[in-house]
Structure 1
Amino acid sequence: MKLIVLLLCVVFAASQSGVPCGVSVVQPITKRLVGGQVAIPGSWPWMVLVTDSLGYIYGSGSIIDQHVILTSAHIFHRVFENSLHRWRIYAGEHNISTVDPHEKAYYVRGVEKHPGFNITSLENDIALIITVDPIAWNDATRPVCLPDAMHGFQVGENCYLAGWGSTKYTGNDETLNQLMMPKLDDNICASHWNDYLPVTEICAGYENQQKDFCVDDVGGPLVCKKSDGAWYVEGIASSGGDCSQTSDSPGVFEDVTQYKDWILNAMRGSGYPYQY
């Protein structure tokens, strides 16, 4: 009886927004490769590209609701309400030089930055983008799950970051690439940056392997697959990103578990409460 009730609850939760969170129709490549590689189209369906009206890339984000994108606050630190019409959010994107089958552009209605965001220290580097129109669900466009206390990020866990940032000649800059990034101990990032904040930040990536995210990847989600089979956004690419051939440092991500309450409150305040 308990199992039946649980299954009914899961089906009901998914039906509220049409699709379950963290489940991709096209399965991503998750072999234990330490190098970056081109992602399979549609395998990271929550990824969005953030640009201006001229097509200049400012970063990435992840879909958590049909009207809400999770991203980095410092992408928008000089954006004013009267300039929001100049921004575009591309969902269903894969190759930025072509129009993909499920690609669609969305306008920005508002940006909710964390009230404690500091552009100098990049403390509380998290924001929500609210779209004008609802994002259409399809096989290439779906939401990612938000983590909770039961879905914590463990040292040694292999997670993934996807984005359209420069590959520094190691891959195709025009397509969505992915990189496996293991969670590292906070002490490693603290040894590279004296302003690392272990309470609200995550250390992930590599030392001395020239593998990291680039500036255009900022705001993108660090996602981990949990035992329930769904993908959860554990981190937001924030600082430390250095994709040059001399990079010897891991990346720094905002720890989404530490901002869950703020995200939920901000979503409710925007009129789009979290569905999962």
Structure 2
Amino acid sequence: CPKWEMLEKEELQAIAIILLKNCGVVPLQTRIVGGDNATAGDWPWQVSMHFNERHICGGTVINTQWVLTAAHCIISESTSRYLLYFGKQTQSGFNPHEVSRSVSQIIMHPDYNSTTFQNDIALMKLSSPITYTNYIRPVCLAAKSSIFHNGSECWATGWGRLSQNVNTQTSYILFCFEVQIPVVGNNLCSSFYSFINVTITCNMLCAGELGKGVCQGDSGGPVQCKQGSRWIQGGISSFGIPCAVGIPEVFSRVSEFQSWITGHLAGTNVSFVEFTSNGTDLDSSFGCNTTAPPNRAPPSEVSFTAIVSVILLMPLLP
């Protein structure tokens, strides 16, 4: 057998494609389009993060030993206080396909800002590798060149609250919940948040609409979009004005952190796939290296009063 160091770059790339070809693939085709509760195996990369024995955030499987989540979900540097669940469908009762792992290492983005939620991304290393099953699989991550047009339909998943007006642990959804939400271009998204002096940057991805969105407890979880037979994670649930009040939620844009992720996980199998949605809306051109299109005003159905009445931009944590 040839030694790895003797292989050409093209050969290594081909091997990597073979090793990672199953990212974002759902082995069990049990999906009911439009369903609220996900069935077992629908989102096999979905992770439930428990802190001090209760669910606080979501995350995603990116390989057998690493989970991707939001930096603001890391509320303690003590790894012993976290337990990650895989293949979990319900937060109450028996989960026949569930496995759990403790955490051995936490890597937060060094430039994470807890005030502005810039660079809201973190990696968690498992105490031991997990084994892939029909209910536990890795997701594909959006590559640097990915394009998410305004209006692209994606899905958010998690166990968050149904409403902001509840404060008890029992208010969390027991079964993994799924909701289809449209991407909102950064320029349009900025017009919502500028009223409360929140800056939307190229490291962020917005999605959501009136009556559909994420809520507290969904933090760290994915917004994922389908391309062919694969699901590609475009964002990590970060912050917003919960819950589904007509103002889009904000996610950390995964594609902008490809170098940071691969830099820390060199030598491990993490799959980045270019995502390109259909569309021509110039709002999608908002980015680090492009000029933003002309400013847009928020849609008329979202009142100015509703926006400015928000006193505190709540992170999507319980």
Q: How does the TM-score come out when normalised to structure 1?
A: 0.84
Deviates more, 1:149-158 or 1:117-126: 149-158
Alpha-carbon distance in structure 2 between the residues aligned to 1:172 and 1:165: 5
Q: Is the 8 A contact 2:149 2:185 kept in 1?
A: no
**1:146 is aligned to 2:141:** yes
**1:161 is aligned to 2:161:** no
The alpha carbon displacement at 1:202 in A equals 0.8
Match of 2:285 in 1: none
AA paired with 2:110?
P
The alpha carbon displacement at 1:248 in A equals 2.5
The alpha carbon displacement at 1:9 in A equals 9.0
Match of 1:22 in 2: 24
Match of 1:4 in 2: none
Alpha-carbon distance in structure 2 between the residues aligned to 1:70 and 1:130: 9
Q: Is the 8 A contact 2:189 2:200 kept in 1?
A: no
CA gap of 1:199–1:15, structure 2 versus 1, over 3 A, is closer
Larger Rg: 2
Q: Is the 8 A contact 1:75 1:219 kept in 2?
A: yes
Match of 2:268 in 1: 272
CA gap of 1:99–1:196, structure 2 versus 1, over 3 A, is farther
Alpha-carbon distance in structure 1 between the residues aligned to 2:13 and 2:121: 29
Match of 2:247 in 1: 249
The alpha carbon displacement at 1:59 in A equals 0.4
Match of 1:58 in 2: 56
**1:203 is aligned to 2:206:** yes
Alpha-carbon distance in structure 2 between the residues aligned to 1:201 and 1:66: 27
Number of residues paired by the alignment?
253
Structure 1 runs not aligned, ≥5 long: 1-7
The alpha carbon displacement at 1:15 in A equals 5.9
Alpha-carbon distance in structure 2 between the residues aligned to 1:202 and 1:146: 14
Alpha-carbon distance in structure 1 between the residues aligned to 2:182 and 2:101: 32
AA paired with 1:272?
T
Alpha-carbon distance in structure 2 between the residues aligned to 1:101 and 1:12: 34
The alpha carbon displacement at 1:10 in A equals 9.7
Match of 2:76 in 1: 79
SS of equivalent to 2:206: strand
AA paired with 1:234?
G
Match of 1:5 in 2: none
Residues 45-67 of structure 1 deviation map (CA, whole Å, 9 limit, x = unaligned): 0000001242x221000100111
Structure 2 runs not aligned, ≥5 long: 1-10, 273-318
Identity, in percent, stands at: 30
The alpha carbon displacement at 1:30 in A equals 7.0
CA RMSD of aligned residues (A): 2.5
Alpha-carbon distance in structure 2 between the residues aligned to 1:251 and 1:161: 11
Match of 1:223 in 2: 224
